[in-house]
């Protein structure tokens, strides 16, 4: 591995990627979608649980490892899950 690859791997942790844009919330490498409504979304990662609350929340993109939610996002909470 060269220096460039080391820096990219350090800056871009491929285990969990979470991005919050103006009206979008993006998750890469999620484990499961626990619950979903137009006001609240709960997503499980390997060691964390994310709760997104807001208004008019919709799933824009969902694949095996990517999830994108749009709407008026008011709050994002992250809690560590006890390892099982």
Per-residue model confidence as pLDDT tens digits over 7-35: 766 666 567 788 998 889 999 889 999 99
Q: What is the pTM of this model?
A: 0.77
Is 66 inside any structural domain? Answer: yes
Is 61 inside any structural domain? Answer: yes
DSSP track, 15-76:
S-EEEE-SSEEEEES--EEEEE-SSEEEEE-SSEEEEEEEEEEEEEEE-SSEEEEEEEEEEE
Q: Which domain holds residue 34?
A: 15-80
Is 10 inside any structural domain? Answer: no
pLDDT tens per residue, range 23-79:
899 998 899 999 999 999 999 988 899 999 999 999 999 999 899 999 999 999 999
Query: Taking the CB of residue 64, how many other CB atoms lie within 10 A of it?
Result: 7
């Amino acid at each position: 591995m060269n220096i460039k690859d080391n820096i990219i791997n350090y800056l871009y942790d491929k285990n969990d990627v979470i991005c919050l844009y103006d009206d979008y919330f993006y998750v890469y490498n999620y484990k499961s979608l626990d619950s979903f409504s137009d006001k609240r979304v709960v997503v499980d990662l390997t060691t964390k649980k994310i709760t997104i609350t807001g208004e008019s929340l919709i799933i824009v993109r969902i694949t095996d490892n990517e999830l994108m939610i749009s709407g008026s996002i008011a709050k994002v909470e992250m809690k560590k899950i006890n390892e099982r």
